[in-house]
């Protein structure tokens, strides 16, 4: 019996894992639930991802791209712009998109508290984002801005309140040293 060539299968499995976590949370993630969602044999999930931690690492890497894209689209690379306004706009873009995707990213990110395999990915994302911000300010302020942005996002997600770009711009500007 010949094997069917399916170069997209690994990606479909990652996408299915993201959907499963989005619908059922981390507790609902299993090789079996992902295989059913991806419509692939159970053996395919274990072939590509021997453990659930490996699958969650791949899912977290992929979901981290959502915020990176919002930052890239915000004008963050423009050294002359208003950094607080650029970051507030990026948060608005990110939170204004697929809310399930944002929730999922935080759920996977926070899963690193209990799953050590996810910690390097969470740390990598934090480092990369802090380095991007440090191009516009000093490294300490960059980390403070990142922490504040996480706090704003979590408050919006946990309270269900609408994102207030003006508020975000105001509080972010308070952290940025004046020239």
**Nearest residue to 103 via CA among 15, 13, 19:** 19
Looking at the predicted structure, is the pLDDT value of residue 2 above 50?
no
pLDDT digits (tens, 9 = 90+) for 79-111: 778 899 999 998 998 888 777 778 888 888 888
- Residue 178: exposure state from Cβ atoms within 10 A (0-12, 13-18, ≥19): exposed
Specify whether the CB–CB gap between 145 and 87 falls below 8 A. Answer: yes
Lowest mean pLDDT among 24-33, 75-84, 90-99, 124-133: 75-84
Q: Do domains 1-50 and 59-175 have the same CATH topology?
A: no
Q: Which two tokens stand for residue 88?
A: 């507030």
The ranges assigned to domains in the chain are 1-50, 59-175
- Residue 91: exposure state from Cβ atoms within 10 A (0-12, 13-18, ≥19): buried
DSSP class of residue 116 equals: G
Average pLDDT over every residue of 3-32: 87
Q: Looking at the domain covering 1-50, what would its CATH class be?
A: mainly alpha
Does the pTM exceed 0.85? no
Q: Looking at the domain covering 59-175, what would its CATH class be?
A: mainly alpha
pLDDT digits (tens, 9 = 90+) for 134-154: 988 999 999 999 999 999 999
- Residue 71: exposure state from Cβ atoms within 10 A (0-12, 13-18, ≥19): buried
pLDDT band at 1 (very low <50, low <70, confident <90, very high): very low
Rg (CA), the chain: 18
pLDDT band at 4 (very low <50, low <70, confident <90, very high): low
Percent of the chain whose predicted confidence (pLDDT) is above 70: 96
Token pair 């995707």 in the structure block, residue: 101
Q: Which two tokens stand for residue 87?
A: 């970051």
What local confidence, expressed as pLDDT, does residue 60 receive?
84
Buried b or exposed e, range 24-33, using 16+ CB within 10 angstroms? eebeebbbeb
DSSP class of residue 3 equals: P
Number of separate helices (H) and strands (E) present in the chain: 9, 0
Percent of the chain whose predicted confidence (pLDDT) is above 90: 47
DSSP class of residue 10 equals: H
| Average pLDDT score over the chain | 87
Alpha carbon 28 to its chain's center: 19
């Amino acid at each position: 019996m010949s094997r069917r060539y399916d170069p997209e299968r690994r990606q479909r499995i990652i996408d299915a894992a993201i959907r499963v976590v989005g619908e059922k949370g981390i507790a609902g993630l299993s090789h079996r639930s992902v295989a059913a969602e991806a419509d692939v044999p159970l053996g395919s999930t274990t072939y590509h991802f021997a453990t659930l931690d490996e699958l969650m690492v791949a899912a977290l890497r992929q979901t981290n791209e959502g915020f990176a894209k919002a930052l890239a689209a915000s004008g963050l690379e423009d050294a002359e712009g208003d950094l607080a306004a650029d970051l507030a706009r990026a948060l608005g873009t990110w939170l204004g998109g697929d809310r399930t995707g944002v929730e999922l990213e935080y759920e996977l990110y926070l899963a690193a508290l209990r799953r050590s395999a996810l910690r390097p990915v969470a740390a990598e994302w934090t480092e990369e984002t802090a380095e991007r911000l440090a191009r516009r300010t000093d490294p300490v302020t960059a980390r403070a801005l990142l922490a504040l942005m996480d706090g704003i996002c979590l408050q919006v997600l946990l309270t269900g309140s609408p994102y207030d770009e003006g508020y975000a711009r105001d509080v972010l500007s308070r952290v940025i040293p004046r020239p």
